[in-house]
Amino acid sequence: MNPSKRTISQREARRGLLRAGVALPLAATLPTGQAQGSFPTRTIRIVVPWAAGGLVDTGGRVMAEGLAQSLGQAAVVENVPGAAGTLGAAQVARAAADGHTLLMATSSVAIDVAGRRKMALDPLRDLVPVATVSDSFSVIVVNAASPWNSLKEVLDAARPEPGKLSYGTPGIGSPAHLFTELLAQTAALKLLHVPYGRSPAITDLLGGQLSLMVATIPVSIPHIRSGRLRALAVTSGVRLPNLPEVPTVAEAGLPGYEAGQWLGLFAPAGTPEAVIGRLSTEVRRIISLPESAKTLAARGLEPRVGGPAELAQALRSDIEKWSKVMESAGIRLDQ
């Protein structure tokens, strides 16, 4: 890439970050010209702040493989679960700001900020956006033996008896919790939240102990295909390739509803602008490859190509969105 064009692109990206409302650290706003020395000079470490095998882990491994091939240096994924995803994020925030340690984050970062979670870092101060990676959406499901065949029927059943219909989630402030709370607020009704922690709520849904769930695609599709669960609507703005026959929530009767998670790559604050620019270019190229799209789609992830400004805007928009939902529901994150 022509160096002068890259410099112009980086300036535009920084201006986009400022327009998006993300406060950049002073070191990240100073002109840097070329990166200090060549980059990369050693193994790139991508911290996934969740356990192996999940959606975030998939995104991290796609990025590690792609960056290793394109940059000519080894790239590894390190799973650092704990503290609702903030333990790994804090490690990245404290790492050397040279582009060799990156964070594969999700919109849970925005939820943490919106819910005022106590953290060992300030994501808006201590991290800088590199690039978007993918989006993921969920599906509203009920037990196949339930009397409801549409989302409208579920909502109609919930209105007369507030709090009677129950739904399970991994915990308070989880995406599933907020997606369902947004559904209830949009429909002007009350549902009973049952946080399960580490126990999978879908087991009780299959057993008939819960009324409904907003479940991830990888978790729900096997049960939908086997006929044990009935899919009523997807939380995306358009129908999903994995469930083309299932309407969106908006199509099912609640216009304007959309709820999903993004995956994005972040670096420690102060990382040289030229390094951010190169990483962003490589990530966008990797996401555009057919093999990357295929791997992500197999896990219910949709590629999302975007640079620092787009990721900054996604973060800011989600903070605003989930702040309103959590304030209205009285949700606070205590840990």
For the stretch 116-155, pLDDT in tens is: 999 999 999 999 999 999 999 999 999 999 999 999 999 9
Tell me the β-bridge partners of 44: 75
Mean pLDDT of 204-219: 96
Tell me how far apart the alpha carbons of residues 125 and 131 are, in angstroms, rounded to a whole number: 17
Q: Residue ranges of the domains in the chain?
A: 3-136+260-329, 137-234
Among 3.40.50.10480, 3.30.1640.10, 3.40.190.150, 3.80.30.20, name the CATH number for the domain at 3-136+260-329: 3.40.190.150
pTM to 2 decimal places: 0.86
pLDDT at 37: 53
> If DSSP codes are grouped into helix, strand and coil, which group holds residue 73?
coil
- DSSP, res 23: P
**Tell me, what DSSP letter sits at residue 243?**
B
Q: How far is CA 325 from CA 114, 135, 189, 198, 199, in A?
A: 9, 20, 14, 24, 25
pLDDT at 30 over 60: no
Strands (E), 74-126: 75-79, 101-106
Same fold for the pair 3-136+260-329 and 137-234: yes
The reply to whether omega before 123 is within 30° of 0 (cis) is: no
Neighbouring C-alpha atoms within 13 Å toward the C-beta of 318: 25
List of residues 6+ apart from 201 with CB closer than 8 A: 167, 168, 169, 170, 194, 210, 213
Q: Supply 65's token pair.
A: 């493989």
From 35, 58, 33, select the one nearest 48 (Cα to Cα).
Answer: 58
Would you say residue 334 has pLDDT above 80?
A: no
> What's the whole-number mean pLDDT along residues 246-267?
97
Q: What is the pLDDT of residues 292-323, one digit of tens each?
A: 999 999 888 999 999 999 999 999 999 999 99
Residue 112 has pLDDT above 70, yes or no: yes
| 3 state DSSP class of 211 | coil
**pLDDT at residue number 16:** 44
Judge whether residue 187 has pLDDT over 60.
Answer: yes
Residue 32 pLDDT > 90: no
Q: Which residues of 139-160 are buried (b: 16+ CB within 10 A; e: fewer)?
A: bbbbbeebebeebeebbebbee
Pick the CATH number of 137-234 from 3.40.47.10, 3.40.190.10, 3.40.50.1100, 3.40.605.10: 3.40.190.10
Length of the chain measured in residues: 335
